[in-house]
């Protein structure tokens, strides 16, 4: 299993973002509850959001993101995804 960081820049349509947010959080919640998502939330300036997710590989991550309401409702204008090697902290103990 691999940890990934997902940094999302939102589209400028605030109404579309606000409409999609509850479904996006519902999509994330089971992954947070299971430990697959370490943490998630919007940037304080409202320009986007960030989460840390564990997946088997990039292909699985891409499948998950394809089902994200922010993807489906075109709220995610851009994403920067990086594989993250956690060496210190609680997640490091999981590897």
For range 14-29, the mean pLDDT: 97
* Residue 95 covered by a domain: no
Tokens 């993101």 found at: 65
Q: How many domains does the chain have?
A: 1
Residue 26 located in a structural domain: yes
Mean pLDDT rounded to a whole number for the chain: 94
Q: Which domain holds residue 8?
A: 2-86
Query: Which CATH number characterizes residue 81's domain?
Result: 3.30.70.1060
* pLDDT for the residue 94: 65
In 1-95, which ranges are continuous DSSP H helix? 14-34, 58-66, 69-72, 90-94
> Residue 11 carries which DSSP code?
P
Q: Is residue 94 part of a domain?
A: no
- 78 φ, ψ (degrees, to nearest 5): -160, 155
pTM (predicted TM-score): 0.91
pLDDT band at residue 39 using 50, 70 and 90 as cut-offs:
very high
pLDDT at 95: 61
């Amino acid at each position: 299993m691999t940890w990934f960081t997902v940094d999302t820049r939102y589209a400028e349509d605030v109404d579309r973002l606000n409409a999609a947010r509850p479904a996006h959080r519902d999509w994330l919640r089971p992954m947070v509850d299971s430990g697959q998502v370490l943490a998630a939330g919007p940037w304080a300036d409202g320009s986007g959001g960030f989460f840390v997710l564990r997946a088997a590989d990039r292909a699985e991550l891409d499948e998950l993101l394809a089902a994200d309401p922010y993807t489906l409702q075109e709220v995610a204008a851009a994403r920067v995804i990086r594989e993250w090697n956690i060496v210190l902290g609680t997640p490091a103990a999981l590897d």
